[in-house]
Structure 1
């Protein structure tokens, strides 16, 4: 019976005898043989030293490049004689290998592989060897051997495998981050928030990155192995895996399945019968494991936030700091003129005729790395977008584009900077057409890229990074400073010199409450006017044009010379209930001068936020002990609801727990108690979602749980 942590080793010969001869040089002597009995990979110590404790379920030791890890030898027959015995380590990545002499000096180089016998407390029967990779070593799963050479004999022992990741703690690594709180957030944190909705009504969707869940590390490594780059030229791919720029482009392409055996199949239609609706995913683990277990068939289905969240998982697993970013009012400028045209009818219905488009929000990732390929000044956060939109270098990927280059419009640099620049900087031209003729237009230079968010470090709230992408008037870029612009307070006068109109939502909209808004019409001339007023609401998905109007009303107002009038309107819950779910609403007003037929448009797109589940847990949580949580919900709708409650939490609950929620009357309250046994120390996310069966809507909630060591 082997003691815990010790592995039996086997004498092995790789290829021909030349491999061993390269490890050792034969000398003549009649000294007693030196044999290796066991090797201890010192997993507990090495995982802690390399901050990879979460990967303890891996079958291979997981370490980071640029830092030493220790293996202990158990010799049999005799002790190690430093003056006459020699050791070599052979490290192999595919067909690549390096042979490292084991020295007695702790002096190591960050640019080459090193190995030395621990000089402190040297036990000649059980010596320890420290192995250190260069800070620019390739990421992957390595095999390694120990070559033992004495004056009498030479042997090679297969020790096993280790997985080498990037190292944000190592100054010489291209992904080095100097602050511990950032490393904890952007590498080690296994949960986060994805921001959706609109700037004035943010939706914070909980997401479990799941990087420490069993099978996820292996799936991320397999992603590199099945990529076209690896299949085309294995040797070159292994060599290039030392560079986070290369790795990130491979991963960006492999998250979508457009060109390859990628992880996710995108679907922006209304038909999700062949898979899972993108809004139903709550974490990356199920997606990555399903992809790996299916033999690399694409998982159905993903949309931008799913693509980005899964990529964030892969990058954090590989040791590259990563965060999910949301760009509100994200432009897709197909003709690259930095202008997005939007067309409306004379009564305010938005038309689907433009090849350009604006997504209410678009989600991508940023990865932190040195850009040695671009020179100084472009280091730091880089945009990467795995959502398949346009090809880059022949592949459906995007980035890494330095955020600094986007801000300064350095479109001469790699990669895809013009595309991302347009996403955050294009102007919007709103055009009213009648019988094929333009009768009014207005231009908005602030709408696109109006707010760019990521999760704050250490807290479950948003942080604006708008100022990183664009030169803005206020350095704080606070949500409140943008609200007036986004809600339509800025007057869109169009081509009319006589009348201006503005549209303002009275408050952030919540399901079950009326949508209340205010329209202000100002007569800027010294003559009385009679005006037709057309109101129009259309449902839309975040990345599509709207469908037909589900609500409209019309009226007439009279304005005295230089008079301003305020009109209050509301859309009742019963009138919008059938368009709830993940839809948004395009609301428009067109004011028509009945004498001159001049028309002026004001519009706003907004979301109606779903109610929340309330998740509560005890204050003191410790690992490996049964804990209790409760999930409660009060029905705010005017009709009964029912559905399925799902509770999950990486490091807290194994898999998912489902409960059926029977008919809950309007105003009725449900409470469900859950028991769980935390398996990991740290801050974890317990998340719950209630998928309603009679409404196309999912109610969500989460609670951050601090699991303290015993």
Structure 2
């Protein structure tokens, strides 16, 4: 009778396996592998080694609270001579006395999550079982059979492995670069990402069915979209847009997802206060990348919110240029969402690739505040019947804008107004910090035959079909011109530039006003006004009418979005036509400078010097710098300054860094004070590796 085969020791070889599976930046203390790709474990037996033909080895891999082979959450894996790709399989890689190396592979459509792994040995007479610990299984963009496979290696690096990025804000005419630390491989982030799945209502309703569907990136991305906001569940972030954040953290203050996800997990999944669209999108991007789904943050400028599904945004204004809240339809200066890369096995052929996933809670989808995944190609082609939520995203980039002016006598007149939604759709370029314009992915060129074709197709699904907009030249045109530089603390002039394209002199009334505004369009008190009752326009001429905007007027009422809405209304007295021009002006913050002192080397102390000059006419109080960077800091580092920073004075602090990773890292910085908030800066640092 053969002596029992007893496992004396085992090693999951996390270091080698994690490097091979592109997860080594998460450390080597836990085994984190990707589906459809083999990994090795080392076994040591005693008092004798493995004997072929005598000993039989089997592995059990289980995930979820109720593992089941029928539901794909349990695998019984017999160890054979060679791996069988496409299924759970294990094979002996090498035998050396008492030591044995096993190779294990999962199918490319395996359920992701945390697995328990155990070994069963049998001599035909005696059986033994032992626990080998746990491993984490993720999606695999490197595996051609995985539904998230991405062929281009540079894109895989950018959208899965890179832990930092750039998010675009501002206005379509003044685009701002905001750095962000995604930190998907930082400590505890994988645990938080898996907790997102385990805290979703579908898991509580039916954990077996929920875990069974965790092989599908469509299902996972839909859960993530719903769970990043807290409107229906124990979601990560609470949204707020009213500029009152004293009982939490202002959305403008965040510089990364790591602190948000750690707070959510630490405090038993209580929603973190507060988020707005780019924060929701960035956190979703971190979770998706962490789970292995390629993802990127996208910004849509002049983003429409069509509440009644008629593909038209209707706006009402009074005679003084004040917007009236008669409809819920809105146009945001910008709106951020996530694109995730996947094959759509649930759809007809042709809708693979980038999918829009929007976790900002705006409208319900299947009774839940989530949006997507909506194929970008379906949006471009106007295929509004395709899942999920294509009509909503289509309207965000394609809706028409119709404006009305309500006069003193109560009559309402439609105005001549040209505004295009869905402008300068932007994402970070691959491998560099510049902006890539991807508008062409979402829509065809204006006035092209393809645009007309898509309009007619999409119009069939609108709740109220719209008539195509006729583009006719105006007898009188008007646009608002703003200076190239509008820095916080300075005064500046804005101009209404009016063109009389007729052979007749025109007598008009011009009303101009400026008001601080949030990026969602909510306006504050007047900070600039001009009312010309009798403005004469010579025939075939152009006239520029200035209006001064003073810091002493806008400074105290400017929101943290740093935007001012300028509205001009021109009444043509001869035709009774009303012309409307609107422009959102982005007031620039000063820059935070980041200097690196010392030679950047892995596991060697490094110092970063952070500084900013007060550009305002009043002192800054309550000043602090916050810095973080994946592989550079252990979470966020906060440096508070004593006293106040006088006008023109420099605020400066130093931050100690201890680089844990080699290669390109990004130190992201935020500066806060009573009069300057959400001021960002960053520095790319290339860390030399440890000598071999």
When normalised by structure 2's length, the TM-score is 0.91
Task: Report if the CA contact (8 A) 1:200-1:508 is conserved.
Answer: no
Mapped to 1, the partners of 2:33 and 2:210 lie a distance apart of 20
For 2:124 and 2:474, the matched residues in 1 are separated by 99
Distance 1:494 1:171 in 2: 48
Counterpart of 1:604 (choices 583, 595, 618) is 583
Aligned position for 1:708: 688
Q: Does the CA contact (< 8 Å) of 2:14 and 2:28 recur in 1?
A: no
Give distance in 1, aligned partners of 2:157 and 2:538.
63
Per the TM alignment, residue 708 of structure 1 is displaced from its structure 2 partner at its CA by 2.1
Q: 1:474 to 1:391 in 2, by over 3 A?
A: same
**Which secondary structure state, in structure 1, belongs to the residue aligned with residue 170 of structure 2?**
strand
Tell me whether 1:93 sits opposite 2:63 in the alignment.
yes
Q: In the alignment, is residue 501 of structure 1 matched against residue 478 of structure 2?
A: yes
**Once structures 1 and 2 are overlaid, which stretch shifts more, 331-340 or 512-521?**
512-521
1:541-556 → structure 2 map (5 Å cutoff): 541-555=518-532, 556=534
How far is the alpha carbon of 1:521 from its aligned partner?
2.4
Structure 2 residue matching 1:320: 3-state secondary structure: coil
Question: Following TM superposition, by how much is the alpha carbon of 1:153 offset from its aligned partner in structure 2, in angstroms?
Answer: 1.2
Q: Contact conserved, 1:66 with 1:167, CA < 8 A, in 2?
A: yes
Q: Structure 2 CA distance, aligned partners of 1:175 and 1:496?
A: 48
Structure 1 counterpart of 2:606, from 627, 640, 662? 627
- SS in structure 1 opposite 2:154? helix
The aligned runs of 1:403-422 (5 Å cut-off) are: 403-422=376-395
The 3 A distance-change label for structure 1 pair 33 and 388 is: same
The residue aligned with 2:19 is: 48
Q: Which residue of 1 aligns with 2:628?
A: 648
- Change in Cα spacing, 1:587 to 1:548, as seen in structure 2 (3 Å) is same
Task: Provide the secondary structure at the position in 1 that maps to 2:96.
Answer: coil
Matched with 2:453 is none
2:90 matched residue in structure 1:
115
Is 1:572 matched with 2:550?
yes
Determine whether 1:539 maps to 2:539. Answer: no
Task: Pick one of 151, 157, 160 that aligns with 1:178.
Answer: 151
The separation in 1 between residues aligned to 2:286 and 2:539, in whole angstroms, is 61
RMSD of equivalent CA atoms: 2.2
- Report what 1:36 is aligned to: 7
Whether the 8 Å CA contact 1:441–1:495 is kept in 2: the answer is no
Of the candidates 311, 319, 322, which is equivalent to residue 346 of structure 1? Answer: 319
Are positions 1:145 and 2:123 aligned together? no
1-structure distance, mates of 2:107, 2:531: 71
CA distance in 2, matches of 1:404, 1:288: 32
Does residue 512 (structure 1) correspond to residue 492 (structure 2)? The answer is: no
Deviation at 1:235, TM superposition (A): 1.4
Q: Is the 8 A contact 1:652 1:679 kept in 2?
A: yes
Counterpart secondary structure, 1:651: coil
Partner SS state of residue 218, structure 1: helix
Secondary structure of 1:655's counterpart equals: coil
Q: Name the SS for the 2:633 alignment partner.
A: coil
Task: Give 1:596 deviation, angstroms.
Answer: 5.7
CA contact (8 A) 2:490 2:551 kept: yes
Q: Could you tell me how far apart the structure 2 residues matched to 1:497 and 1:101 are?
A: 77
Moved more, 343-352 or 236-245: 343-352
| Mapped partners of 1:57, 1:370: distance in 2 | 31
Q: Work out which of the residue numbers 81, 97, 122 in structure 2 matches 1:104.
A: 81
* Range with greater deviation from structure 2 (457-466 or 611-620): 611-620
Q: Does the C-alpha gap of structure 1 residues 91 and 448 become closer, same or farther in structure 2, counting only changes over 3 Å?
A: same
Following superposition, the deviation at residue 154 of structure 1 comes to 0.8
Q: Which moved more, 1:531-540 or 1:412-421?
A: 531-540
Counterparts of 1:12-91 in structure 2 under 5 Å? 30-56=1-27, 60-91=30-61
Contact 2:181 2:255 in 1 (8 A): yes
TM-score by length of 1: 0.89
- 2:452 matched residue in structure 1: none
- Which consecutive residues of structure 1, in runs of 5 or more, have no partner in the other structure? 1-29, 476-491
| 365-374 or 274-283: bigger deviation | 274-283
Distance 1:150-1:322 versus aligned 2 partners, 3 A rule? same
CA distance, structure 1, for counterparts of residue 576 and residue 387 of structure 2: 50
Cα shift at 1:441: 0.9
Does the residue aligned with 1:46 lie in a helix, a strand or coil? helix
Retained in 1: the 8 A contact 2:528–2:548?
no
Structure 1 residues 672-691: aligned runs within 5 Å: 672-691=653-672
Provide the residue aligned with 2:355 in structure 1. 382
Q: Return the offset for 1:324.
A: 0.5
Residue 53 (structure 1) shift:
0.5
Q: Is the deviation greater in 246-255 or in 88-97?
A: 88-97
Q: How does 1:379-528 map to 2 (within 5 A)?
A: 379-434=352-407, 435-444=409-418, 447-472=420-445, 499-528=476-505
Shift of residue 554, structure 1, vs aligned partner: 2.0
User: Residues 199-247 of structure 1, C-alpha deviation per residue, up to 9 Å, x if partnerless?
Assistant: 1111211111121221111011111112111111111111111111111
Q: Which residue of structure 2 lines up, in the alignment, with residue 667 of structure 1?
A: 648
1:232 aligned residue: 205
Following the alignment from structure 2 to structure 1, what is the Cα–Cα distance between the partners of residues 202 and 270?
A: 18
Other structure's SS at 1:579 match: coil
SS at match of 1:624: coil
- Write the distance in 1 (CA, Å) between the matches of 2:158 and 2:540: 56
CA distance in 2 between partners of 1:149 and 1:561 (Å): 99
Deviation of the 1:92 alpha carbon: 1.1
Summarize deviations over 1:345-375 as a string: whole Å, max 9, x none.
Answer: 2232222322211111111100000011113
Contact 1:103 1:116 (C-alpha < 8 Å) held by counterparts = yes
The answer to whether the 8 Å contact 1:328/1:359 transfers is: yes
1:289-331: CA deviation from partner (whole Å, max 9, x where unpaired): 1111211111121111111111111101100000011111111
Q: For 2:6 and 2:679, how far apart are their aligned partners in 1?
A: 63
In structure 1, distance between residues paired with 2:262 and 2:655: 25
CA–CA distance in 2 between the matches of 1:144 and 1:332? 48
Q: Aligned ranges for residues 109-258 of structure 1 at < 5 Å?
A: 109-110=85-86, 112-119=87-94, 122-258=95-231
Offset of 1:628 from its aligned partner?
A: 1.9
Q: Which residue of 2 aligns with 1:481?
A: none
Matched residue count: 658
- SS at 1:309 equivalent: helix
Check 1:658–1:528 CA distance in 2 against 1; reply closer, same or farther (3 A cut). Answer: same
State the partner residue of 2:235. 262
